[in-house]
Amino acid sequence: MVPIFKRRVLLFFLFFFLFRSSVSSRPSHPLDSLSPFEIDKVANIIKASSVGDHSLTFHSVGLDEPNKPALLSWLSDPSSPKPPRRAFVVARAQRKTHEFVVDLDQDSITSHHIHRGPGYPVITLEEQTAAAALPLNHPPFLESVKKRGLDVALAVCAAYPEGWFGEKKTPKRVTRLLCFYRGETDNLYVMPLEGISIVVDLDEMKITEYFDRFIVPLPKSDGTDYRASKQKPPFGPRIKPVTVIQPEGSNIKVEGHTISWANWNFHIGFDVRAGLVLSLASIYDPEKQKFRSILYKGQVSELFVPYMDPTEEWYYRAYFDAGEYGFGQCAVPLEPQNDCPADAVFMDTYYGGPDGRPVKIENAFCIFERSPGDVAWRHTEIGIPGEVVREVRPEVSLVVRMASVIGNYDYIIDWEFKQSGSIKVGVGLTGIVAVKAVDYTHKDQIKEDVYGTLLAENTIGVHHDHFLTFYLDLDVDGRDNSFVKMKMQTRRVTESKIPRKSYWTSVAETARTEADARIQLGQDMAADLVVTNPNKKTKVGNDHGYRLITGPPTASLLLDDDYPQMRAAFTKHQVWVTPYNRSERWAAGLYTDQGRGDDNLAVWNLRNREIENKDIVLWYVMGFHHIPSQEDFPIMPTLSGGFELRPTNFFEYNLILKTKPPVSKHHLHNSSRGGLHHP
């Protein structure tokens, strides 16, 4: 037996280390994502509750964001009470969807609600994997593969959401399976086993429907492998490495999850559904000698991807990548020197797995300085006799990047901060185009609508859309903001002595309600869309503001009574404005999988609430209509788009007027890049 004294010493050190571990795992900022310690704690508290039986699975374990006024009050005065630390959890147990709020300070459940309406939570990766394995032991599937003359060992299946098509009763929680063949390539998506339809009940985890309607030739695998080791001559040109030299080290400062760079300061977090969440972005104004608020929170809210093939095996393919798959759950590690520069700062993150245990994503974010060779501003003056005056400032910015892989597509999201005060959001689409196997080997054979482009023999790249909805809670110099449409109007010159006949001017129109702020780009005459603070003005009297510079006007072309469009009604307008509501975060509703579109941004907007001089949220829907081409095959070069939030009368003058030009140092070796690795 261990002597009493020694046992006491051992217990003392045990409690000491547990206490130290607990303290060290407590996030220092109220908006920090849940730590692994906290995820474990939340899971254990719920497992100890009345629903904690063998059927319990966790679908979302994340931060229950603190009350906004309380958080802002604490940030302005750290001596005031710190907002309570809570978690919001969506779980399934006894075939019911449960919502929990867990108080991490009190180690207790403060709220428990059963969702009884339509729709289901995000499908976990483990459920997708389990469902995809079922056909490999299903005799009808084995027979289907055999009659196609293929080896079942090379067949691979994947889970895809079922959607909703007008059912009155709440449907079972199911998923569809699509199957592919690997052959001699790892590019399995280009070799679909067309004609096979499989439905899986996710609660029972068994196949409930199976159809094999027809057989078409399997597309060839030759030339479809994208791995470098599999490429054959002739090769393209080799580009010599290009690097950015930072002889004096990095300008990036990382404290926990708070990032400082140049004149910017902001916080980054992670959500299993949204992925990267950017908060509390503020910029230092040397004129006022203080940081000024711009963006309280920005994130991806939803991604709607409808395909344009209405046939039996394809009609349901209209996906909501955030609400059904989890954009954050599908985040992948970023590869140094390929996904991000070698001197980037990398950050890991965690989410709660279906068993409640923390799942780590290494290098989920990268943060780096970008020097693309662009010009921030310049002017050459040759009008002064005998003199030439030239001043140039190079463009240097900060980028925060995340990548998410959802099935065949890879998404790259960049938040870029410029010294001028602009925030640019970039979206990149790459990966594998979804294809359909057909009989055709040449375009001349096609006499019907095949809903896409013939990319290779027996291979149709199907038409589809990508709509990304961004949640942008702008706090321009404070919470009370307005949305102003600066409309261009053509005027006729009435002065007879002037030879000009016309000109245009801008007329400001402040949106009073939500209906006033709905914008269909390309149809409305809005020229500038500005979020202003009518309570703060420049020295010459202009309202402080930030302008939304949009991408091309892309709206959904689906009919309003089409079921996928009902669920994605918010894609008919590109710009929406709502009053801040803590519960309105997901454009397609909290329960998107098999949802009916009765709880989404377009529905909330029908309340037509007042938005003038209020705490408001700007929603921007950017889109891509994708008609695939042969250059998209067998792997798609990145298709890029984005938008910009640009200061408009926010500063008294060009913020980078007084930016010091860099000192030119030639023949410097980049022996120390000054990059940081954040574990």
State yes or no: is 465 an active-site residue.
Answer: no
Residue 517, beta-bridge partner list: none
DSSP-assigned beta bridge partners for residue 346: 366, 677
125 near 329, Cβ under 8 Å? yes
Catalytic residue, chosen from 189, 316, 409, 620, is 409
Task: Return d(Cα 59, Cα 98) in angstroms, integer.
Answer: 10
CB atoms within 10 A of CB 468: 28
574: number of CA atoms within 13 Å, CB side?
A: 22
Which run of H or E residues covers position 412?
Answer: strand 409-418
**Which amino acid type is present at position 631?**
E
Question: For residue 498, what are the contacts with CB-CB under 8 A and spacing of at least 6?
Answer: none
Contact 656, 393 (CB under 8 A): yes
The neighbouring-strand residues paired with 62 are: 88
Q: What is the Cα–Cα distance from 277 to 283, expressed in whole angstroms?
A: 18
Classify 40 as helix, strand or coil: helix
Distance CA 97, CA 91 (A): 6
Nearest Cα to Cα of residue 369 among 526, 248, 461: 248
How many Å apart are CA 238 and CA 249, to the nearest integer? Answer: 29
* Cβ pair 617, 578 in contact under 8 A: yes
How far is residue 261's CA from residue 415's CA, in Å, rounded to a whole number? Answer: 13
Catalytic residue among 64, 225, 309, 321: 321
Catalytic residue check, 321: yes
Cβ atoms 551, 522 nearer than 8 A: no
User: Nearest 5°: phi and psi at 39?
Assistant: -60, -45
CB environment 453-462: b (16+ within 10 A), e (fewer): bbbbebbbbb
Task: Give catalytic residues, as residue numbers.
Answer: 321, 409
